[in-house]
Structure 1
Amino acid sequence: MADRTRTVVLIGAGRMGKLIAEALPASGFELLGTYDVTSATELDVAAPAAELAIDFSNKASLPHTLAYARRTGAALLSGTTGFSDEELARIRALGTRVPVVWSANYSLGVAVLRRLAAEAAKALPSFDVEIVETHHNQKVDAPSGTAKLLLAAVDPSGEARVTYGREGMVGVRPEHEIGMHSLRGGSVSGTHELHFFGTDEELCLTHRATSRQIFVSGAIAAARRLLMRPAGYYSFDELMLG
């Protein structure tokens, strides 16, 4: 990307949105406006045209975010979670018009974890897999978007039976089951663990986020690369790891 200031609108005034807003000026971006779920309708017609829209808001803002990108031709970087499959399909479809990246997690370490998880699942097909994610007590969706990304990494075909927690007389663990568990408490920024259980051995892959700054840095780095790309739908891994 050329060494010039790029314009951006920010959708999301929560904790991530505020951190990104603070980091943008020093990263070569001019913030033209900030919107949240209560003011998202302004994106339809009134918000100024920018080169990039960064979305860390609420899924309810999606129609307005998409309308803004279509109206202005802005590239879209989204980190909002909780989308349905249909909503994610709408985000991917926007890639026919503008550069788009969506990720539930903009940590470079998590991107590497996903690759390691996929390799481990291929190498250990007979092992039992459990995914455990832990977040702060203010997080509203479960399991986390990152946990879903890890699930897709270990089960790309979507054929495995996924069990969300266990209670009571659940019986013997069936083959090809993946356990998904969500813990909530305190101010934990995010911890994700993948357990691969074999006979007499266990492999555990873990990523711990100690602050949200890693997601801010990753999102801004991805934004720079996204602005160099033609229209298309990109993953964070594609942009950062090639």
Structure 2
Amino acid sequence: MIKVIINGCNGKMGRVLQEIIAAEPEMEIAAGIDITENSSVTYPIFPSVAQCSCEADVVIDFTIAKIVDQLLDDCVEKKLPLVLCTTGLTPEQLAHVEEASKQIPIVQSYNMSLGINTLAKILESVAPTLADAGFDIEIIEKHHNQKIDAPSGTALLLANTVNASLNNEYYYQYDRTAKRAARDKKEIGISAIRGGTIVGEHSVIFAGQDEVLELTHEAHSKAVFAKGAVQAAKFLVKKQNGRYTMRDVIA
């Protein structure tokens, strides 16, 4: 039985994750971490991983970027594998993830869904062909009106995947209002839309002469991210120290 600590258990993703784990015969929730209490759950809740007194095999995190540094330190201190699903991390925090992964196994991904990570694999194969043919590359991401970071971590994941397949020769253009010039062939445009209750939609557009190829992924519920996180947790408890991604999980 894999015992899980949910970091951010009372948040929207934390509640979805509870439902997914409840349906898993080989997993159970050992404890939750949150700054608020919740009398409706059967497991204990602690304000931090450091203060958690329960035995566990892995931590799954869906919180906010500003608490990630402390989370990494706490998991290293307790030798707990970590599935890190929080987005909006700074370069310094990503460096902290890299350093922590030398002491514990970590899965860190901007998107936990199978579909997005399959899309990333597709992009690796099609981007070089289309870029060589002169196609412009644009990414549009849409999310609900409560999402804090923009562009989304997933949009950056897709952009980084495309750019890596093109020898990292491209740069990212986020704001066209400040640039009064024709489009540069070596740019990847990234646009963010926030509104309503959109769970998540990402489109990668390759626009060429007289034709357009658009690859789109739509998440219709938050369950797809929770299912991916559970899959990552099962993967991680068998691994040595190191930094992994969802691409490793689904390989």
TM-score (norm 2): 0.88
Q: Distance in 1 between matches of 2:11 and 2:162?
A: 31
Contact between 2:34 and 2:48, CA under 8 Å: does it hold in 1?
A: no
1:163 maps to 173
Give 1:45 shift.
Answer: 4.2
* Residue-by-residue CA offset, 1:40-73 (whole Å, 9 max, x unaligned): 8632244434110111011122132112211221
1:151 is aligned with what amino acid?
A: A
Tell me the SS of whatever aligns to 1:44. Answer: coil
CA-based RMSD of the aligned residues comes to 1.9
1:196 maps to 206
1:9 is aligned with what amino acid?
A: I
Q: How many residues are paired up?
A: 237
Verify: 1:173 aligned to 2:179, yes or no: no
Give 1:24 shift.
Answer: 1.5
2:39 maps to none
Contact between 2:34 and 2:46, CA under 8 Å: does it hold in 1?
A: yes
Q: Distance in 2 between matches of 1:172 and 1:53?
A: 47
Contact between 1:20 and 1:216, CA under 8 Å: does it hold in 2?
A: yes
1:135 maps to 143
Unaligned runs of 5+ in 2: 37-44
1:33 maps to 31
Give 1:36 shift.
Answer: 2.9
Please give the residue correspondences for 1:33-72 in structure 2 after superposition, counting only pairs within 5 Å. 33-36=31-34, 42-72=48-78
2:3 maps to 7
Give 1:95 shift.
Answer: 1.8
Contact between 2:4 and 2:29, CA under 8 Å: does it hold in 1?
A: yes
Verify: 1:146 aligned to 2:142, yes or no: no
The percent of aligned pairs where both chains have the same amino acid is 35
Q: Distance in 2 between matches of 1:164 and 1:45?
A: 41
Give 1:230 shift.
Answer: 1.6
Change (3 A) 1:166 1:47: farther
Q: Distance in 1 between matches of 2:190 and 2:179?
A: 18
Q: Distance in 2 between matches of 1:47 and 1:194?
A: 45
Q: Distance in 1 between matches of 2:170 and 2:207?
A: 16
Contact between 2:111 and 2:225, CA under 8 Å: does it hold in 1?
A: yes
Tell me the SS of whatever aligns to 1:191. Answer: strand
Verify: 1:114 aligned to 2:127, yes or no: no
Tell me the SS of whatever aligns to 1:228. Answer: coil
Tell me the SS of whatever aligns to 1:42. Answer: coil
Q: Which runs of 4+ in 1 moved over 4 A?
A: 37-41
TM-score (norm 1): 0.91
Deviates more, 1:10-19 or 1:189-198: 10-19
Q: Distance in 2 between matches of 1:159 and 1:236?
A: 25
Contact between 2:117 and 2:247, CA under 8 Å: does it hold in 1?
A: yes
Identify which of 65, 86, 89 aligns with 2:95.
Answer: 89
Identify which of 229, 234, 242 aligns with 2:239.
Answer: 229
Q: Distance in 2 between matches of 1:209 and 1:139?
A: 15
Change (3 A) 1:86 1:54: same
